[in-house]
């Protein structure tokens, strides 16, 4: 079997690409609206706890599997547990990534449309109500939705076919720093609005009375989704990492960056929402309706609108790269000559798969699957069933097939992490993570 011929050029390149995968619609779009509807600060706090105590251990497990074998996910499981069915974790991951990207790219398309609008529409002359209309017109227009989804996927294909170093790493190194800078500008603007303190209070002061079992489980799902866990993407990404780089340091940097961006997202959005007397519980349209409405009434609003849509596009694209890479790597198995063609063909299939999702807000809005639109049904299947299932299997697989000494040795390469830290990690991975996921599952299917 071939070892990976492709490699990240540097640790920072890897960290930015992996953080790019993690930071996306989950942190910037989903987290604020879910926090907005489920208790603000309390939700954010338990999200951080789950990210640290369930997400980080699982991220380290995926990293260890990838770097230890230096193979893409399916081959990695096959090498560690030959002759067993465990490589189906990788296969499940490939199918999940494929489906996830098919509807993720629909929202990516909306971002493309909004970025274009930030350059062509003068939002300062629009009324608050116009933004709701603009959003529903956008997502229900079949031609617009599909074209935008196509453009988003074309950009993703263009980068991924360039390979790990020249495609994903290079573009992440450009996009991620820009994302951080633009976000900082937006947060400064938001925090200096009148009455911003109320938004800060809503987002950061926990009110535990608003937490329910439901929202707690939601926070677990959000923690996994936000770190791109459960589909073995982080196995594939870490397989391109040199052995002398520390996995522990990389993982902590990625988790810190993700939490930091989630914090910035809340600090950008809630002060603005409260300052203009709007509702934080708008749901999914929060960043597409409320935010532009707020921007429309501040000086230089169009500029901030543009900055926000640019950073949202960059965040969404770098996540999409990882989803496509997961599928492509599993097919090419690192035979470089196949990459270009495989990426394009896979991308086309994902586009076709995504069409019903793109039409779910217009043409197909009345065609229901289990009482949901196609988009919502697929999102439910992927986010609430396939992702947690993948995460559960990984947490069961790792301690079973890799001995403690092998795991600890891999995690100690390039770092002097203390033994007791690794012991805590092991316990969290082997016992706490699977139990938490099983409880969440039982709840979702209605048993508890």
Which tokens belong to 303?
């500029």
Q: Which CB sits closer to ligand TRP, 26 or 39? A: 26
Residue whose CB is less far from ligand TRP, 24 or 434: 24
* Tokens linked to 44: 């954010």
C-beta closer to ligand TRP: residue 233 or 272 = 233
Shortest distance in whole angstroms from residue 70 CB to ligand TRP:
21
Which of the 8 DSSP states describes residue 3? P
Q: Could you write out the DSSP letters of every residue in 349-373?
A: HHHHHHHHHHGGGTTTTT--BTTB-
- CB 297 → ligand TRP: shortest distance, Å? 29
Q: Which is nearer to ligand TRP, 123 or 291 (CB)?
A: 291
Nearer to ligand TRP by Cβ, of 42 and 327: the residue is 327
Q: How many CA atoms lie within 13 A of 400 on its CB side?
A: 12
Whose Cβ is closer to ligand TRP: residue 22's or residue 298's? 22
Q: Which is nearer to ligand TRP, 324 or 358 (CB)?
A: 324
Distance in angstroms (rounded) separating the CA atoms of residues 146 and 442 = 36
**Distance (Å, rounded) from C-alpha 400 to C-alpha 406?**
12
First to last CA, the chain: 46
Task: Give the phi and the psi of residue 420 in degrees, each rounded to 5.
Answer: -65, -30
Cα–Cα nearest to 319, from 105, 116, 146, 145: 105
Cβ 323 to ligand TRP, closest distance in Å? 5
SS3 206: strand
CB of 225 to ligand TRP, least distance (A): 5
| Contact status, residue 148 vs residue 110, Cβ threshold 8 Å | yes
CB of 385 to ligand TRP, least distance (A): 13
Instruction: With CA atoms as reference, report the closest residue to 240 among 179, 157, 326, 155.
Output: 326
CB of 209 to ligand TRP, least distance (A): 28
Cβ proximity to ligand TRP, 196 vs 226, nearer residue: 226
Least distance to ligand TRP, CB of residue 420, Å:
30
Minimum distance, C-beta of residue 122 to ligand TRP, in the bound complex (Å): 30
Distances (CA, A) of 52 to 108, 331, 415: 28, 33, 20
Nearer to ligand TRP, 39 or 93 (CB): 93
- Any idea what the Cα angle at residue 144 is, between residues 139 and 146, rounded to 5°? 90
Q: How far is the CB of 322 from ligand TRP (least distance, A)?
A: 5
Q: Which residues of 97-112 are buried (b: 16+ CB within 10 A; e: fewer)?
A: bbbbbbbbbbbbbbbb
Q: List interacting residues with ligand TRP (CB under 6 A).
A: 21-22, 24-27, 225-226, 228, 230-231, 233, 319, 322-323, 387
101/248 with CB nearer ligand TRP: 101
Tell the smallest beta-carbon distance from residue 403 to ligand TRP (Å).
Answer: 27
CB atoms within 10 A of CB 82: 9
Considering the complex, what minimum distance in angstroms separates the CB of residue 78 from ligand TRP? 21
- What DSSP assignment string belongs to 51-93? IIIIIHHHHHHHHHHHHHHTS-HHHHHHHHSTTSGGGHHHHHH
Alpha-carbon torsion (73, 79, 81, 83), positive or negative: positive
Please say which residue, 275 or 319, places its beta carbon nearer to ligand TRP. Answer: 319
Rounded to whole angstroms, how far apart are CA atoms 190 and 199? Answer: 10
């Amino acid at each position: 079997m071939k070892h990976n011929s492709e490699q990240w050029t540097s640790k920072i390149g890897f960290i930015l690409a992996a953080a790019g995968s993690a930071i996306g619609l989950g942190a910037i779009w989903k987290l604020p609206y879910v926090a907005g509807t489920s208790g603000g600060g309390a939700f954010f706090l338990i999200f951080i706890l789950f990210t640290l105590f369930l997400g980080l251990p699982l991220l380290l497990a995926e990293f260890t599997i990838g770097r230890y074998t230096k193979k893409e996910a399916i081959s990695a499981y096959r090498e560690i547990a030959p002759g067993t069915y465990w490589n189906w974790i990788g296969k499940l991951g490939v199918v999940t990534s494929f489906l996830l990207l098919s509807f993720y790219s629909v929202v990516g398309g909306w971002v493309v449309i909004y970025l274009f609008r930030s350059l062509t529409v003068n939002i300062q002359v629009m009324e608050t109500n116009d933004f709701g209309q603009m959003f529903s017109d956008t997502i229900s227009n079949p031609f617009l939705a599909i074209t935008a989804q196509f453009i988003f996927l074309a950009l993703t294909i263009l980068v991924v076919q360039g390979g790990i170093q020249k495609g994903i790493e290079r573009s992440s190194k450009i996009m991620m720093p820009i994302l951080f800078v633009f976000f900082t500008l937006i947060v400064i603007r938001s925090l200096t609005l009148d009455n911003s303190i109320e938004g800060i209070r809503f987002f950061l002061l926990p009110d535990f009375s608003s937490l329910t079992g439901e929202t707690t489980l939601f926070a677990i799902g959000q923690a996994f989704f936000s770190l791109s866990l459960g589909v073995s993407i982080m196995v594939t990404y870490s397989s391109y990492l040199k052995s002398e780089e520390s996995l522990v340091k990389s993982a902590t940097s990625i988790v810190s960056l993700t939490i930091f961006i989630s914090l910035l997202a809340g600090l950008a959005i809630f002060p603005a929402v409260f300052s203009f007397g709007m509702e934080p519980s708008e749901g999914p349209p929060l960043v597409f309706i409320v935010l532009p409405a707020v921007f429309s009434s501040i000086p230089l609003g169009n500029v901030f609108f543009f900055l926000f849509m640019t950073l949202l596009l960059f965040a969404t694209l770098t996540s999409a790269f990882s989803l496509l890479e997961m599928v492509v790597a599993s097919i090419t198995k690192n035979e470089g000559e196949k990459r270009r063609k495989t990426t394009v063909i896979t991308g086309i299939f994902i586009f076709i798969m995504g069409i019903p999702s793109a039409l779910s807000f217009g043409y197909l809005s009345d065609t229901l699957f289990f009482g949901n639109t196609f988009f919502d049904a697929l999102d439910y299947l992927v986010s609430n069933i396939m992702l947690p299932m993948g995460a559960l299997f990984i947490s069961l697989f790792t301690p079973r097939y890799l001995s403690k000494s092998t795991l600890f040795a891999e995690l100690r390469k390039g770092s002097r992490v203390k033994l007791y830290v690794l012991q805590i990690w092991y316990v969290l991975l082997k016992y706490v993570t699977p139990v938490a996921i099983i409880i969440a599952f039982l709840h979702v299917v209605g048993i508890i």
